[in-house]
Amino acid sequence: MSFLTTNKGKKQNYRGKGATVSGIFAALAASSCCIPPVIAAIAGIGGIAGSLSWLETYRPYLIVLAIFAIGYAWYNYYQRQKSDECCAINAKPKWYQTKTYLLSASLFAALAVAFPYYSGIFFPSNNKEVVVVNNSDLQSNTFNIQGMTCNGCAAHVESEVKKLPGIFFVDAIYEKASAKVEFDRTKVSIGQIVAAINRTGYKVVKKN
C-alpha cells in the first residue's frame, strides 16, 4: 500500500486524524446529557445526573458535526489511497491511518450518538412485589420534573423511586417532563418520593 510522505500527504494524514477525533468528541458531546445519569446509577451517587442536560439543546448540531467529521475522515482516507505521486513510498501505515481504526471510530461514534436510546439498560429495574392491604391506601400522584432529556433520564428516575417501600407503579416520561407514581401511602410519603427524585439530580417543580 502506498502512503504519501510529501507535505501534501502529511497534511492529508493530519486532517484525517483530526476529523476522526473531532467526530468522536462531537458524538460523545451529543449524548453527554445522558452519560452522568448512568454514572450516577452505577456508582450509587446522586446530584450529577442533570449536570450536562443543557447540552441537549445542541444535540442536533453536534450529531450533524459528528457525521460531517467522520464522513470527511472517510473521504480523506480514500483520497489518500488514490494518490499516486512520484515521491510516494511503500511504508507500513500508522495505526490511525488504517481502515480498521476508521471503522472502529465510526462504530464508536454511532454507538455514542445512539446512547440515549439504549441507556436505560444500565439502570437496575428494582421491581418488587407490593401487597396493598386496603385499596383506599393506594394513592396516585404526578410529579413534574425539571431536567430530564432522554429515556435514560426517565429510567434513572424510575429506578430511584422503585427503591422506596410501597411503590406500586412508576412511569416517567421525559417528553412530558413528568412521572406518574402509584404507591401505598401507609408505607411511603409524597415527601419521600420527591426526595428520591431530587436525589437523581433532577428537580420536582410541581406535584399533582
Pairwise CA distance, residues 167 & 138, whole Å:
10
In sequence order, which residues have a C-beta less than 8 Å from that of residue 112 and are 6 or more positions away?
24, 27, 28, 30, 31, 66
What is the structure's pLDDT at 118? 80
Specify the pLDDT at position 2.
Answer: 43
Strand partners, 143: 179, 207
Predicted confidence at residue 176, as pLDDT, reads 92
Question: In angstroms, rounded to a whole number, what is the distance separating the alpha carbons of residues 171 and 120?
Answer: 13
pLDDT of residue 104: 92
Convert the pLDDT of each residue in 75-128 to its tens digit: 888 887 776 454 555 566 677 778 888 999 999 999 988 887 887 777 766 666
Rounded to 5°, angle at Cα 18 from 12 and 19: 90
pTM, whole model, 2 decimals? 0.64
> pLDDT at position 46, please?
57
Q: Check if the beta carbon of residue 174 is closer than 8 Å to that of residue 167.
A: no
Beta strands, E only, 66-116: 89-90
Residue 30 to residue 58: CA distance in whole angstroms: 7
Per-10-residue mean pLDDT for the chain, 208 residues long?
50 73 85 71 59 72 91 86 57 75 92 82 66 77 89 85 90 92 92 91 82
What is residue 90's predicted lDDT score, i.e. its pLDDT?
58
